[in-house]
Structure 1
């Protein structure tokens, strides 16, 4: 199948993980579905050799790589090694799916507009870790998930989409995290598909969907009736 004179080769995704890989699994499932992902997951790279996500990838027949941080003196050296490894796979898109390392500015600049992250909060609220606990401690009435392009600012890149999750009176961290994850697994394949189909792009620092600039808070995902 040809698109606009380009070769038929599928667009390639590399997914970076550190742990369980449940969002990776959502992407694998989407790739295997009738709708597809708009491309293929070329490789999964983990900084943790025992990450369960590696097993998920292997079961799906996806190449895996382990790049442990302990083998490198500092973040700069690690990121240079990661860039060399990514270069082997020539990804059109790099997806952070529970990758627990902060990437250096050099890395982020190299993949500007081709680097996505998912974060369990309604950004710009609750950047960083322990978002479910912080939401509960603050007594917030709603929580959620955000997907954004990655920039040099931690959890601060331009927003693409958000979904809200009400906080119930009897919620604890586990129950709240579980409901947020349901939204994560729903949204990440949608956004990756948008990107791989050419519908989503970053123009400078402004995300556009189907040629239209997105609002600062991104698209608000609404459940279909």
Structure 2
């Protein structure tokens, strides 16, 4: 059984997609062990509560220094004994010690086709604003492992989504979530739970 801990800052729509996939059996051999947010008002914590999943808020604002937060944050993650950590719209920098401890066991969903529109400053609507400003014809989402860089870890899955005439950042964001993010994040977790994902020379290999 793959123990999954989900880290989320906001509404938790990707969290809900994972919950639904686990509940339906679309993602097998997987349990969501807990949800951690840096925002006590995040609706994601309510989603966790509604589904009987332990949820906790740990905010950098509650600690005198970022170093102290990082220690307590890692302790909270460790207590949930994750086999896999899923960043589902988590807007806090992951401590280097956590990346090292959970090497190739932390994944992130990013709302673009990496390496386009990714890295520092590209999150939420900003990604879609930049994509539309550039005039791209195809957007999408990427699930990747987390390393010490920003959106630089090995890519697991990607899914393209057409940009339509008249799109706004909001309509494009919604379509990317519905057609890409909510599909490939659960799929990636399922592949990992099935033992089909490995990393070699910085690239992901998926066994048939």
What interval of TM-score do these two structures reach, taking the shorter chain for normalisation?
A: over 0.9
Structure 1 match to 2:99: 108
Report 1:1-225 matches (<5 A). 10-127=1-118, 128-129=122-123, 130-182=126-178, 183-203=180-200, 205-210=202-207
Paired with 2:18 and 2:177, the residues of 1 have a C-alpha distance of 13
Structure 2 unmatched runs, 5+: none
The answer to whether the 8 A contact 2:6-2:36 is kept is yes
SS in 2 for 1:14: strand
The answer to whether the 8 A contact 2:155-2:203 is kept is no
SS in 2 for 1:98: coil
Paired with 1:35 and 1:124, the residues of 2 have a C-alpha distance of 29
* Divergent runs of 4+, >6 A: none
The answer to whether the 8 A contact 2:3-2:32 is kept is yes
The higher radius of gyration belongs to 1
SS in 1 for 2:165: coil
Q: Give 1:204 deviation, angstroms.
A: 5.5
Structure 1 unmatched runs, 5+: 1-9, 212-225
Paired with 2:36 and 2:173, the residues of 1 have a C-alpha distance of 24
With structure 1 as the length reference, what TM-score do the two structures score? 0.86
Paired with 1:37 and 1:57, the residues of 2 have a C-alpha distance of 19
Paired residues, number: 202
Paired with 1:74 and 1:37, the residues of 2 have a C-alpha distance of 40
The answer to whether the 8 A contact 2:27-2:189 is kept is no
What's the CA shift string for 1:7-60, capped at 9, x where partnerless? xxx220000000000000000001110334421000000000000001111111
Paired with 1:34 and 1:83, the residues of 2 have a C-alpha distance of 30
What's the CA shift string for 1:155-174, capped at 9, x where partnerless? 11111111111111210011
With structure 2 as the length reference, what TM-score do the two structures score? 0.93
Return the structure number with greater helix share: 2
The answer to whether the 8 A contact 1:75-1:103 is kept is no
User: How big is the alpha-carbon RMSD for the aligned residues of Structure 1 and Structure 2?
Assistant: 1.4
